[in-house]
């Protein structure tokens, strides 16, 4: 458990060229949530769902981390025990910036992985199509699925989020509209809080935050990093 929790969403990867979900040109403009990202979609639309995540994997293969990912990786390396990194993102841009697997928690799953629908074994398939990797689980023979938490499904890693929220004193929110996670509530649980988005969101009450930056993450991250360092040095 750490003193500082950095929680990111789709906005932190927007400047690397990965679409956010809710903005004008976002993914939901082109795909219905219920078809590809809602509990049961694998039963109703298996082929379409698998194709959607195959395309997302191809999309992230050549995407590069931006300055915000890199600064956060450096902070984590400098204060490994004082900072926890949790993300709603399913891309691998923090990992490409040098974050180790055990230094980051992907709350909503990880695109590079498939999971067995029966035995829950996880397979890192990098950027391959699901069917090029295997038609069934190499361990038990059951069906495989993208290791993504669909709306309406349990998110087991929220347990880690709850633990971190109970211990952290500063929460830093970057690039999330707050529609999935109630970040206004999180800000009320901690002594200090920072919010960085491009613009205000209907799902966030920014008056609860100690500091608010409406700016690109790559532009705000310098000041945010300085705030975190000052906070930890004075703790
Ligand atoms: P969202 O699309 O609902 O909201 C994006 C937020 O990012 C907005 O508030 C916007 O103001 C902000 N933003 C946009 N560009 C920014 C920038 N350059 N710098 C700083 N902020 C910027 O995203 P969400 O709240 O993360 O929720 C969407 C869900 O979809 C999440 O659960 C996430 O797992 C998933 N998702 C992930 C990815 C990814 O892995 N990169 C991409 C799309 C969606």
Sketch the domain layout of the chain as residue ranges. 1-17+64-108+154-235, 19-62+110-148
Q: Which atom of ligand 1 is nearest to the CA of 8?
A: 26
Confidence class of residue 12 from pLDDT cuts 50, 70 and 90?
A: very high
Q: What is the CATH number of domain 1-17+64-108+154-235?
A: 3.40.50.1220
- Assess whether pLDDT exceeds 70 at residue 153: yes
More confident site: 23 or 235: 235
Mutate to test the pocket of ligand 1, among 11, 25, 26 (most ligand atoms within 8 A of CB): 11
Q: What is the pLDDT of residue 209?
A: 98
Q: Which atom of ligand 1 is nearest to the CA of 68?
A: 19
| Rounded Cα gap, residues 48 and 35, in angstroms | 8
CA 115 to chain centre: 18
Q: Do domains 1-17+64-108+154-235 and 19-62+110-148 have the same CATH topology?
A: no
Active site residue 108: yes
Give residues (CB < 6 A) around ligand 1. 9-11, 13-15, 18, 20-23, 26-27, 88-91, 108, 175-177, 179-180, 196-199, 201, 216-217
Ligand 1 centre distance from Cα of residue 106 (Å): 14
User: Which residue among the candidates 31, 81, 106, 108 is catalytic per the annotation?
Assistant: 108
Closest among 87, 105, 82 to 3, alpha carbons compared? 82
Would you identify the CATH topology of the domain 19-62+110-148?
Answer: SIR2/SIRT2 'Small Domain' (3.30.1600)
Ligand 1 centre distance from Cα of residue 118 (Å): 31
Q: What is the pLDDT of residue 24?
A: 56
Confidence class of residue 43 from pLDDT cuts 50, 70 and 90?
A: very high
């Amino acid at each position: 458990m750490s003193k500082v929790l950095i929680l990111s969403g789709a906005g932190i990867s927007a400047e690397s060229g990965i679409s956010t979900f809710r903005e004008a040109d976002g993914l939901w403009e082109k795909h219905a949530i219920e078809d590809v990202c809602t509990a049961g979609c694998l039963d109703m639309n298996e082929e379409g769902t698998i194709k959607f995540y195959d395309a997302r994997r191809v999309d992230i293969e050549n995407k590069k981390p931006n300055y915000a990912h890199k600064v956060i990786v450096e902070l984590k390396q400098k204060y490994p025990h004082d900072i926890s990194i949790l993300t709603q993102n399913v891309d691998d841009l923090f990992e490409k910036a040098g974050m180790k697997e055990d230094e980051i928690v992907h709350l909503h799953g990880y695109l590079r992985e498939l999971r067995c629908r029966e035995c829950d074994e996880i397979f890192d398939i990098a950027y391959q199509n699901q069917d090029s990797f295997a038609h069934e689980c190499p361990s038990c023979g059951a069906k495989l699925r993208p290791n993504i938490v669909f709306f309406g499904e349990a998110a087991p890693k929220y347990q880690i989020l709850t633990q971190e929220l109970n211990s952290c004193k500063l929460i830093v929110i970057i690039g999330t509209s707050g529609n999935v996670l109630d970040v206004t509530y999180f800000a009320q649980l901690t002594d200090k809080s920072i919010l960085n988005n491009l613009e205000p969101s209907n799902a966030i009450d920014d008056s609860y935050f100690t500091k608010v930056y409406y700016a690109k993450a790559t532009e705000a991250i310098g000041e945010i990093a300085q705030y975190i360092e000052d906070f930890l040095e004075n703790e």
